[in-house]
């Protein structure tokens, strides 16, 4: 049994990690700290909170005094640090929050962990897992080899720069103070509970609602898609069995350009409507309700500034050292994800009815079709 702190546990990957952890390690005591930003959602956690299977603290990782109190109260020996501002487009619009949470928040968490583990002589048995991104390595051209753990950092967006800064801080705490830290850098996740501002849920929801599917630039940008369940299993393997001071890359081994991804989403929705006629009544604005393909909604719009061309992950270290290989097939994972958004309409409707509208107007209002 261990006392675990999960930061950002009300976000997309955080919620999935909480559920995976709860199911696979029922004796561990889980505390989630989350600032409950626009990206947070606790609907899926509510049953666990009510039945006291997890403890949810609404607060910011930048609040050092709160972190100190939580460590004293719950005696954490494992920290899985996921809290972050995570959307690249928002970092381009307004980078400051990214520096505050991703850099200063990570620093406050490192300090609280180190102070508590040092004072209580827990350094040896404790672990700090910092969850980071492949975006710190920058962008690959078509023929360059995939990112490995020794690829030099070359972040291009304010988001990526803030994550790179946090990775460097984590590493410095391990080398300088002996904090038992590990870092993971993973590729694009997809799956249940992802906020509708990100590519895959945005395209699914827009297609269901008969709205334009806005592909940035010419849609040739490539991402390495990783199902969130594979990612969560990898995170648990790293925190439990990884070597302190090491970095592990986590990837899906599944490079796809954005045109393909959006095309696959369209085909998956078209097929779902062809199989289940009730969907036509539920989503009458979807082209598939009139037996037309959702592909008719695809629109190419002004590109994201500084748009990284290609990410690809070499995950052999994770496989060789920890025996974890990602196994969810992309077409099957995407089909399951489309089904999840169809079945969980109330979940995303609650999100897109709020301040999300203002974001959509801000991000897409000035992007002309190209
Ligand atoms: P998300 O935006 O869905 O969730 C982030 C969570 O952090 C939210 O619940 C938010 O409320 C919380 N948060 C933000 N600021 C906070 C603060 N100051 N204090 C406490 N909580 C705060 O993000 P995600 O997609 O779940 O990503 C989780 C982590 O994984 C991030 O660190 C991200 O950089 C990293 N990552 C994500 C992906 C991906 O594809 N989603 C890929 C690689 C790495
Ligand atoms: O690579 C890991 C990163 O993946 C994480 O660190 C980030 O937190 C996560 O948000 C994600 O970043 P991306 O910028 O790759 O994800 P996003 O879903 O925003 O975009 C994926 C691709 O789709 C990217 O090439 C931009 C493009 N895109 C995105 C949106 C929202 C579009 O073409 N149209 C869109 O409307």
Residue 24 lies in a domain: yes
Residue 176 lies in a domain: yes
Residue span of the structural domain in which 48 resides: 3-195+225-256+310-329
Q: Which atom of ligand 2 is nearest to the CA of 262?
A: 33
Residue 175 lies in a domain: yes
Residue 293 lies in a domain: no
d(CA 10, CA 36): 7
pLDDT surpassing 90 at residue 370: no
The pLDDT > 90 percentage for the chain reads 96
Q: Which of 29-33, 264-268, 351-355 has the lowest mean pLDDT?
A: 351-355
> Where does ligand 2 bind, in terms of residues with CB under 6 Å?
86-88, 133-135, 187-188, 198-199, 202, 214-216, 221, 223, 258, 304, 311
Helix (H) or strand (E) holding 133: strand 127-133
Residue 249 lies in a domain: yes
CA distances in angstroms from 222 to 187, 218, 261, 370, listed in the order given: 11, 11, 10, 19
Can you give the pLDDT at residue 368? 81
Please identify which residue in the block is written with the tokens 């955080």: 14
Q: How many domains does the chain have?
A: 1
Alpha carbon nearest to ligand 1 atom 5, residue: 11
d(CA 350, CA 164): 33
Can you give the pLDDT at residue 357? 86
Query: Is there a contact between 194 and 281 (Cβ–Cβ < 8 Å)?
Result: no
88 C-alpha to ligand 2 centroid (Å): 7
DSSP one-letter code for 134: G
Mean of pLDDT values over 90-103: 98
Residue 335 lies in a domain: no
Please report, for the domain that includes residue 44, its CATH number: 3.40.50.720
Can you give the pLDDT at residue 33? 98
Q: Which atom of ligand 1 is nearest to the CA of 37?
A: 11
200 C-alpha to ligand 2 centroid (Å): 9
Question: Phi and psi for 311 in degrees, rounded to 5?
Answer: -120, 140
Mean of pLDDT values over 33-61: 97
Residue 207 lies in a domain: no
Ligand nearest to the CA of residue 82, numbered in listed order: 1
CA distances in angstroms from 37 to 8, 96, 182, listed in the order given: 10, 15, 26
Residue 7 lies in a domain: yes
pLDDT surpassing 90 at residue 118: yes
């Amino acid at each position: 049994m261990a006392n675990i702190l999960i930061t950002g546990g009300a976000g997309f990957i955080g919620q999935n990690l909480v559920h995976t952890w709860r199911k696979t390690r029922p004796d561990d005591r889980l505390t989630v700290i989350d600032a409950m930003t626009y990206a947070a959602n606790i609907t899926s956690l509510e049953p666990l909170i009510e039945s006291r299977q997890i403890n949810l603290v609404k607060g910011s990782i930048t609040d050092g005094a709160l972190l100190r109190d939580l460590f004293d109260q719950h005696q954490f020996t494992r920290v899985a640090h996921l809290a972050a501002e995570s959307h690249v487009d928002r970092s381009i619009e307004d980078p400051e929050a990214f520096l505050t949470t991703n850099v200063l928040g990570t620093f406050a968490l490192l300090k609280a962990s180190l102070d508590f583990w040092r004072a209580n002589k827990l350094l040896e048995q404790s672990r700090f897992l910092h969850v980071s991104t492949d975006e710190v390595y920058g962008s690959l051209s078509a023929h360059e080899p995939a990112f490995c753990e020794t690829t030099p950092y070359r972040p291009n967006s304010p988001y990526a720069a803030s994550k790179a800064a946090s990775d460097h801080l984590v590493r410095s705490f391990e080398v300088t103070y002996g904090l038992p830290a590990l870092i993971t850098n993973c590729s694009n996740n997809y799956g249940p509970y992802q906020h509708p501002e990100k590519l895959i849920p945005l395209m699914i929801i827009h297609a269901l609602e008969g709205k334009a599917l806005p592909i940035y630039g010419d849609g040739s940008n490539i991402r390495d898609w990783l199902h969130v369940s594979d990612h969560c299993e990898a995170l648990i393997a790293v925190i439990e069995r990884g070597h302190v001071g090491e970095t592990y890359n986590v990837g899906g081994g599944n490079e796809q350009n954005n045109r393909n991804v959006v095309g696959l989403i369209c085909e998956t929705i078209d097929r779902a409507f062809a199989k289940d006629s009730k969907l036509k009544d539920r989503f009458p604005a979807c082209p598939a309700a009139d037996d037309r393909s959702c592909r008719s909604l695809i629109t190419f719009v002004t590109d994201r500034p500084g748009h990284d061309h290609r990410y690809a992950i070499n995950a052999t270290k994770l496989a060789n050292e920890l025996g974890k290989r990602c196994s969810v097939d992309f077409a099957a994972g995407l089909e399951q994800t489309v089904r999840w958004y169809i079945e969980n309409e109330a979940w995303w409707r609650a999100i897109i009815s709020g301040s999300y509208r203002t974001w959509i107007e801000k991000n897409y209002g000035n992007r002309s079709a190209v």
